[in-house]
Amino acid sequence: MAKPVSIEVWNPNGKYRVVSTKPMPGTRWINLLIEQDCRVEICTQKKTILSVEDIIALIGDKCDGVIGQLTEDWGDALFSALRRAGGTAFSNMAVGYNNVDVNAANKYGVAVGNTPGVLTETTAELAASLSLAAARRIVEADEFMRAGLYDGWLPNLYVGNLLKGQTVGVIGAGRIGSAYARMMVEGFKMNLIYYDLYQSTRLEKFVTAYAEFLKSTGEKPVTWKRAASMDEVLREADVISLHPVLDKTTFHLINKETLSRMKKEAILVNCSRGPVIDEVALVEHLKENPMFRVGLDVFEDEPYMKPGLADMKNAIVVPHIASASKWTREGMATLAALNVLGKIKGYPVWSDPNRVEPFLNENVRPPAASPSIVNAKVLGLPVSKL
């Protein structure tokens, strides 16, 4: 039996009880719930990842909805507990929901929300940051300085890679992959090669237009190419950023064999899903190829890293912070809260989950809709006509 979980309560006399398994950035999400007569309970337990038993204790005997985190195991046990407590709404404070058994949610009639549309630029920016940090060996140089080892300029001290004129490869040219590609092409005048099952016409038009601009100013124009296979990207690109969905076809997409096809001095960046990379194979590749560099925001067995990864000087590792800008994290909290509120109040589901600006404008009341419910069709929820 789990121990009692510490909580912070807002609007204790509210009609609807909404639980958040973690404190979330900002206060707008709290105020939006309170304004609609919700009692908001926020778990303040000093524990990074709550167990299933902890969350069942939080849900208690009466709970209308829960805002959860992607580190939690939302399956049959939690959805049945939520339904027994009278709840019909759950939302991840994340765009991904690999931690959620949607079939179990369907079984108990619980709506599952997520928060797309607010992470695109922020995630792309971190991928670009990791690309630049790896190319110019910034983390290594920072550690060198802090250790007091710098005693004067040297011609070969932390020589890295120039990005201008090199080729950036994107695997998965959806919203985030395309945003990253635009940043690298326009910011560093890199040529683009991308692989995706679907043609990214908007991205191609952007690069074409930018190439024409460069040509008009007397500069060498950038180029783009849609690769016929992922291997083509691996062979040709100097910097490769991964942006695929995670499913059976992309698990260990990057492995010993595919790593061997990349350039010896290539840079690999992953801000998508950890299991896309075979981390054991990556560690071995980093050991054998000291000029190969990697920037990782996600890990195969998060929050853990495979043995040896932390020791690699040619690896930059950060703790899943791709969405960690103030605007984005506060927006995610707002969208998650409105997903839960919308189901509780019987609102329809927003027609386009990637067009979330109306929900994030703090100067106006958000639309009477749930921003994004992934199982709306299965549950037969109406779609907003707003």
CB 95 within 8 A of CB 114: yes
> What residue type is assigned to position 195 of the chain?
Y
CB 89 within 8 A of CB 65: yes
**Parallel, antiparallel or unpaired: strands 7-10 and 38-43:** antiparallel
CA 300 vs CA 24, 115, 253, 309: distances in Å: 25, 22, 12, 12
CB 21 within 8 A of CB 68: yes
**DSSP secondary structure letters along 98-147:** TTB-HHHHHHTT-EEE--TTSSHHHHHHHHHHHHHHHHTTHHHHHHHHHT
Tokens at 298, concatenated:
């996600």
CB 299 within 8 A of CB 276: no
d(CA 143, CA 138) in angstroms, rounded, equals: 9
Burial letters for 305-333: b for 16+ Cβ neighbours within 10 Å, e otherwise? bbeebeebebbbbbebebbebeebbbbbb
- Known catalytic residues are 273, 302, 320
Residue 383's CB: how many other CB atoms inside 10 A? 14
